[in-house]
Amino acid sequence: MRELNGLERVFNLRSYVRNHSFTVSEPSELGGPDRGPNPVEYVLSALGACYVIGFFNTTKRNARIRNIEVALEGELDNILVFLGLSTQGHRV
């Protein structure tokens, strides 16, 4: 594995929650090393997990579930909005 430098260090970090840890990174298109999901991807993943856990909690009494899958996707209209360099294309 190559050594990170410059912006790659900023866009590659380790997050710790209770006794767990995970890599948070940005893709190479944004100057990162792409060593893990980016923060927005983690948010979408967490939202999907919340839906599944909520679904199981409401149906656990009488339902038999063999498999469940949640697919979520997000889109940034303008990467410059994400970087704070523009207000054009921002959806509210």
Please check whether residue 12 is in contact with residue 33, taking contact to mean a CB–CB distance below 8 angstroms: yes
Q: Are residues 51 and 83 in the same domain?
A: yes
How far the first Cα of the chain sits from its last, in Å, is 40
**Mean of the pLDDT values across residues 12-27?**
90
Q: Are residues 84 and 44 in the same domain?
A: yes
CA distance 62 to 13: 43
CA distance 57 to 54: 5
The number of domains in the chain is 2
**Mean of the pLDDT values across residues 24-30?**
85
Q: Which domain holds residue 10?
A: 1-36
Q: Are residues 43 and 14 in the same domain?
A: no
**Band of residue 68 on the pLDDT scale cut at 50, 70, 90:** confident
Q: Please state whether the predicted TM-score (pTM) of the whole model is above 0.95.
A: no
**Band of residue 12 on the pLDDT scale cut at 50, 70, 90:** confident
Q: Are residues 28 and 5 in the same domain?
A: yes
**Band of residue 31 on the pLDDT scale cut at 50, 70, 90:** confident
**Band of residue 21 on the pLDDT scale cut at 50, 70, 90:** very high
Q: Are residues 47 and 21 in the same domain?
A: no
Q: Are residues 10 and 26 in the same domain?
A: yes
